[in-house]
Structure formats: structure tokens, C-alpha cells
């Protein structure tokens, strides 16, 4: 009887050893290293959820007024949209172009040079038909005031008559004599006197 019991224990012991050996083999096989060649699929990072829009604060500034558009000017075909020139500018330009004329001592006669300059002045006035001119006669300091006033008037009238003969309308021309009151050059010699015996042409409105 004891022999049977011992035999059973031996058989059970052997069975336990065999089962434990199989378990170790399975354990070793399951612990095989994983190959580094295998790639682990990566997932793209999740996009951040859209932030809710914050409500805009009402601006306390006044609303901007709509820009005003300039009115369009309709022009006919072939016409240039040119602004009219300033009359004051035209008058100043003409004033700078009109030439003075000079006289000999105690004379109101026009020299050849004076006639040539008057012809140029007539051409300038023809280009500005609305311009009016005052002719100012002047003298040097020699002689009495009364005599020089009369001489200055004769010099201004001589220039006016010549311009009228060249075609300038008489109503566009006026004369005045200043005698010795407005010398162009201060001096008491012939060089100064020659500059003061003159007619000047002044644009008037």
C-alpha cells in the first residue's frame, strides 16, 4: 500500500516538473526582443480647436464720413481741360516785358532806338487786347518844375501817338507827367540824367 502511495507521489512530482518546464519555454519565447526595424506609425498632432471669436467692442469714435468725390467735368472731343490763367499773372508778365524809352536833353523827339522799342511794345499789347497802359513822362533835375512837367507830358504824348499809329487802341492808353518827381537814378551828372529822361509803361486795371 505504501508503495502505491509513493509511486503516485513520484508520478505527480514528475508531472509537475514537466509542466513547469513547458511554462519556462513559453515564457522565454514570449520575451524575444522586438526588432528595431519595425516602425511605429505616428499620428499627426491634433489641430487645436478653433477659439471662439471675441465680440468686438463698439468704437467710441465718431464714424468716418464717406469721402466726397470730385464732380467730373465733361469735355468735348478735342478740347483740353485747361484752367484759365490768372489775369494778374498775365499782367505782371506783360509789365516785365514792356520796354522804357529814353530822350535827349530838352527833347520830346523819338530816336530810332525808341521807335524800335515802341514797335515791340505795340506787339506785346496786341497779344493782350484787354490790357491798359499808362505812359509816364519823366525828366532830369535841370530846369524849373513847371517846364519839366510840361516836357514830361510832351514825351508821354509822343509815345502814345506812335503806339496809336502802330494800331494800339487810343482808349487803352493814358498819359501822365511826373517831371522830376520820380528819378530812376539819384545823381547829379550826365550818367544819372540820361537814365531819368524817359517814358515808362505801366499796366493799369
**Predicted confidence (pLDDT) per residue in 40-69, tens digit:** 444 444 445 555 555 454 444 444 544 444
Can you spell out the DSSP letters for 75-127? --TT----PPPPHHHHHHHHHHHPPPEE--TT--PPPHHHHHHHHHHHHHHHH
Q: What local confidence, expressed as pLDDT, does residue 58 receive?
A: 44
pTM, two decimal places? 0.57
Q: What is the pLDDT of residues 173-203, one digit of tens each?
A: 999 999 999 999 999 999 999 999 999 999 9
Q: Where are the beta strands (DSSP E) in the chain?
A: 101-102, 132-138, 173-179, 198-204
Given a cut of 60, whether residue 153 has pLDDT beyond it is yes
What is the model's pLDDT at position 145? 95
At residue 154, does pLDDT exceed 90?
yes
pLDDT for the residue 34:
45
pLDDT band at 107 (very low <50, low <70, confident <90, very high): very high
Q: Is the pLDDT score of 160 beyond 90?
A: yes
Task: Give me the domains of the chain, ranges plus CATH numbers.
Answer: 101-204 (3.30.1330.60)
Mean model confidence pLDDT for the chain: 75
At residue 82, φ and ψ (nearest 5 deg) are -110, 130
Q: Please, which pLDDT band fits residue 74 given cuts at 50, 70 and 90?
A: very low
Does residue 144 carry a pLDDT above 60? Answer: yes
Rg (C-alpha) for the chain, rounded Å, is 59
Amino acid at each position: 500500500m505504501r508503495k502505491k502511495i509513493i509511486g503516485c507521489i513520484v508520478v505527480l512530482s514528475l508531472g509537475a516538473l514537466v509542466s513547469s518546464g513547458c511554462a519556462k519555454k513559453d515564457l522565454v519565447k514570449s520575451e524575444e526582443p522586438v526588432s528595431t526595424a519595425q516602425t511605429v506609425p505616428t499620428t499627426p498632432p491634433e489641430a487645436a480647436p478653433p477659439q471662439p471669436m471675441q465680440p468686438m467692442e463698439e468704437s467710441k469714435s465718431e464714424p468716418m464720413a464717406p469721402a466726397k468725390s470730385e464732380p467730373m467735368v465733361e469735355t468735348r472731343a478735342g478740347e483740353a481741360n485747361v484752367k484759365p490763367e490768372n489775369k494778374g499773372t498775365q499782367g505782371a508778365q506783360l509789365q516785365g516785358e514792356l520796354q522804357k524809352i529814353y530822350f535827349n536833353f530838352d527833347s520830346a523827339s523819338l530816336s530810332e532806338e525808341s521807335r524800335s522799342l515802341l514797335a515791340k511794345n505795340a506787339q506785346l499789347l496786341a497779344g493782350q487786347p484787354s490790357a491798359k497802359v499808362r505812359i509816364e513822362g519823366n525828366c532830369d533835375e535841370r530846369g524849373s518844375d513847371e517846364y519839366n512837367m510840361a516836357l514830361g507830358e510832351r514825351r508821354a504824348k509822343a509815345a502814345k501817338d506812335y503806339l496809336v499809329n502802330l494800331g494800339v487802341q487810343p482808349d487803352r492808353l493814358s498819359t501822365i507827367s511826373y517831371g522830376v518827381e520820380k528819378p530812376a537814378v539819384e545823381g547829379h551828372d550826365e550818367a544819372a540824367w540820361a537814365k531819368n529822361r524817359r517814358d515808362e509803361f505801366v499796366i493799369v486795371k
